[in-house]
Amino acid sequence: MKEKLKKIVADAIKEVNSALKEADVLNVKSKFLGKKSELSLLMKDIKNMSVEDKKIYGPLFNKIKTDLELKINEKLEEIQSKIDIHLDETLPTDEEIGSLHPISIVAKDVTDILKRMGFTIVNGPEMEKEYYNFEALNIPKTHPARDMQDTYWLSNNDLLRTHTSPNQVRAMQKFNAPLRICAPGRCFRNEDMDHSHETTFFQLEGMVIDKNVSISNLIYVMEGMLKEIFKSDVKVRLRPGFFPFVEPGFELDCSCLICGGKGCSTCKNSGWIELCPCGMIHPNVLKESNIDPEIYSGFAFGLGLTRLAMMKYKISDIRILNSGDLRKLSEFNIE
Ligand code: FA5
């Protein structure tokens, strides 16, 4: 028996070594390890052996099987690695290589930072219900704040969302409190276009709800996030701002990096760019989503991702970003 086994192993190794293609190796595998292989038939005989022989041949068969399997897998890997490095020299080498869009890059940068701070990324629809875009955010039908966010209405009375803030309501209603989410996404407004206003732009919503959340937490997170985004000292300022879904509300501006704060057409000669309004979540908004404002408090912010891409890559006209003009987009030295 031992001689028979020795011969099987020697034959198998010889055939594995001389195999050139993946299919050859698989054939050797089925020949030597398949159900009808000599080895499998001999293994079936174990049950008829004496107890002493069983003790010897049981482990021996197992060892032969695992050794052969290992050898076969090694050979398969060797052949596959050669396939991977096969070079087709007829392929053209002067093709232009694309790159990520500036907005995709800043969106990933910011979500990576927020993920490290414990935020979960969520998503909501671009075609949104009026309820989530306005009503649940404390902006009833007759509220003048609707004027600032005029949008495109769909025939079924839904709308193209004007901001990423509907994600606040969707997240609260899905996860309740406590929570820590961020939601990047495309927004739409019926807007007169200029250097810093588009009808289609990107924002990133952030929201934290927990017990004892205060304005200090809001400022700490805003500062930490912006420091990491710009990786340099960029001047920011916080001033009062009104949004019906926060109280108090703030406008967070950053000094215009296009003109260095001197004033230009991008910042409308003010030296500042509105980047990230924020505030403490209004009790009505918490109540609407069944969160008790006596127990929980929270803050939210709406970072203008398109404006952020403009500041980071010194793009003076927002319209370039949606133009799809690769000659223009490739001017930005983006890794
Ligand atoms: C809002 O959209 C609020 N939802 C933000 C918010 C969230 C406030 C949470 C408080 C709490 P606002 O309309 O200011 O706010 O827009 C937020 C940011 O989006 C702006 O600072 C700006 O960076 C960007 N943004 C707004 N409109 C445009 C536009 N037409 N083109 C490009 N970016 C825009």
Residues 74 and 107 in one domain: no
Number of domains making up the chain: 2
Cβ within 8 Å of residue 145, ≥6 positions away: 139, 242, 243, 244
Residues 18 and 157 in one domain: no
CA-to-CA dists, residue 328 to 311, 314, 317, angstroms: 16, 13, 11
Q: Nearest residue CA, atom 24 of ligand 1?
A: 304
What is the 98 CA–ligand 1 centroid distance (Å)?
30
What is the 178 CA–ligand 1 centroid distance (Å)?
25
Probe ligand 1: pick from 163, 305, 319, max atoms within 8 Å of CB?
163
Probe ligand 1: pick from 274, 284, 320, max atoms within 8 Å of CB?
274
Residues 176 and 269 in one domain: yes
Rounded to whole angstroms, the Cα distance separating 139 from 87 reads 61
Residues 182 and 272 in one domain: yes
Residues 264 and 204 in one domain: yes
Q: Decide: 164 and 186 in contact? Cβ < 8 Å.
A: no
Residue 91 placed within a domain: no
Confidence of residue 84 (pLDDT cuts 50, 70, 90): low
CA atoms within 13 A on the CB side of 229: 29
SS3 25: helix
Residues 296 and 161 in one domain: yes
Q: What confidence tens digit (pLDDT) does each residue in 192-249 have?
A: 999 999 999 999 999 999 999 999 999 999 888 888 888 877 888 889 999 999 999 9
Residues 77 and 125 in one domain: no
Q: 45 lies in which domain range? A: 2-81
Residues 57 and 124 in one domain: no
Read off the pLDDT of each residue in 273-293 and give the average, rounded to a whole number. Answer: 96
Give the CATH number for residue 320: 3.30.930.10
Residues 180 and 53 in one domain: no
**Residue 76 structure tokens:** 């398969």
What is the 305 CA–ligand 1 centroid distance (Å)?
9
pTM of the model: 0.73
Percentage of residues of the chain with pLDDT beyond 70: 96
Return the C-alpha torsion angle 55, 61, 62, 66, nearest 10.
160
Domain boundary among 81, 116, 139: 81
Residues 76 and 146 in one domain: no
Whether residue 83 has pLDDT greater than 80: no
Residue 283 placed within a domain: yes
Residue 265 placed within a domain: yes
Rounded to whole angstroms, the Cα distance separating 148 from 47 reads 85
